[in-house]
Amino acid sequence: MLTIKQITENTEAVLRGLEKKHFKNAKETIDQVIALNDKRRSTQNLLDKNLAEVNSLSRTIGQLMKEGKKEEAESARARVAELKEGNKELDAVMTQAATDMQNILYTIPNVPYDEVPEGVGAEDNVVEKMGGMETELPKDALPHWELTKKYDLIDFDLGVKITGAGFPVYKGKGAQLQRALINFFLDEARKSGYTEIMPPTVVNAASGYGTGQLPDKEGQMYHCEVDDLYLIPTAEVPVTNIYRDVILEEKQLPIMNCAYTQCFRREAGSYGKDVRGLNRLHEFSKVELVRIDKPEHSKQSHQEMLNHVEGLLQKLELPYRILRLCGGDMSFTAALCFDFEVYSEAQKRWLEVSSVSNFDTYQANRLKCRYRNADKKTELCHTLNGSALALPRIVAALLENNQTPEGIRIPKALVPYCGFDIID
């Protein structure tokens, strides 16, 4: 969440940023935060003044009794009792103001960087780069949901029987391809210096608040109500929360972790051709990169993550493009975000396969994730993450773009992981 210092010292810049993200009632909300902070601070000042008076009076009572000034001592005792009673009320007022302020701060999105373009939605995103291999398919090219049926790779109907729509069953070479991609992505992350983590796939509410999924995306998460736990929408949540309430040493940064997990998203309201087959699932596999870094190094970390994801797509021989997201299409928590999309020749559309984001101090402030600098002062870290990569649409693009009359060709980089070079 935004810091109070950020809001009070750079109010106009915060408001401009919130306007870029199309946050409704930004001025009124920020004014509320400032008013509650003023109330909290003024109440704290009065409480501190009263406590100082209590301490002073308490020290004099014994001396007054020794001097035989009983009436004055009793008067001091009465004043101490009065102050203590008043302090209870002041403490309640201060606590309530702090709680109300915190609850409002949770509802305010991150402020985008200046380099984030203006815009309302996906149509306003800026194409930064295009790359990869052009694809020429047979005239009778099939979309992946037909290919998976033809080669018995994924059974969508069986998933509906077992669980419901959006929970496919991978079979035979389809399952092998899925596992090959997971191992390939993890190996590539390890070669780039990432430490692999195997986190839980359910988290508590504190973890959801820590990375900003709660309260913003509560309706999109599967909630285990009896235990008040949430199925993770991404490994970002458990892996970043490793550093909740932690003070790191500067020499530890940047921290670079990766994790493969299943991910769960309700995707309420999703329907139509854009969600057919693997295009949008309720359960899917993903390898996630997470970095914790110093503020002055986080932009370099972000670029290194972008280079890593681009390298994966090049090795998979897929046509891709990189988009700089506009303010209106960015996530609630991101300060800067780039999306990677691969082109599906059979569907004639771009499929998002990764978002690589810099959150600045937004998540770190929620998490209380700090580091001790060279001057032994504690500062908030910057957090970053990105998919490297989300598997369903990668699988869809691989199947569709590599279909030939003889079968589906496997990219060279994946053959050692698959154990076969063609699906026929």
Per-residue model confidence (pLDDT) at position 274 = 63
**pLDDT for residue 372:** 97
Minimal CA–CA distance to 389: which of 263, 232, 298? 263
- Give me the residues of the chain with pLDDT under 70, please: 268-274
Query: Which 3 state secondary structure label does DSSP give 231?
Result: strand
SS3 27: helix
Q: Is 221 strand, coil or helix?
A: coil
> How far apart, in whole angstroms, are the C-alpha atoms of residue 414 and residue 424?
16
Residue 148: the pLDDT is 97
Q: Which amino acid is at 424?
A: D
**What pLDDT shows up at residue 41?**
95
Q: Which residues are annotated as a binding site for ATP?
A: 265-267, 352-355
Q: What is the pLDDT of residue 303?
A: 98
User: Three-state SS for 401?
Assistant: helix
Q: What pLDDT is attached to residue 270?
A: 52
| pLDDT at residue number 268 | 57
Query: Fold for domain 4-105?
Result: Helix Hairpins (1.10.287)
Supply the pLDDT for residue 56: 87
Rounded Cα gap, residues 108 and 86, in angstroms = 34
Q: What is the CA radius of gyration of the chain?
A: 27
Of 116, 126, 125, nearest in space to 335 by CA: 116
- pLDDT at site 74: 80
Cα-flanking dihedrals φ and ψ of residue 307, to 5°? -65, -40
The per-residue pLDDT for 273 is: 52
Residue 321 vs residues 141, 316, 341, 346, 392: alpha-carbon distances, Å? 22, 14, 5, 17, 18
Residues placed in the known binding site: 234, 265-267, 288, 352-355, 385
Per-residue tokens: 370:
């700090």
Beta carbons within 10 angstroms of residue 417's beta carbon: 17
pLDDT value of position 202: 98
pLDDT (0 to 100) of residue 55: 84
Question: How many whole angstroms separate alpha carbon 113 and alpha carbon 136?
Answer: 39
Q: Which CATH superfamily is domain 122-423 in?
A: Bira Bifunctional Protein; Domain 2 (3.30.930.10)
For residue 378, what pLDDT is reported?
Answer: 97
Binding site for L-serine, by residue number, is 234, 265, 288, 385
- Residue 27's pLDDT is what? 97
pLDDT of residue 140: 87
Structural domain boundaries in the chain: 4-105, 122-423
What gap in Å lies between CA 420 and CA 153, rounded to an integer? Answer: 14
Whole-structure pTM over 0.85, yes or no? yes
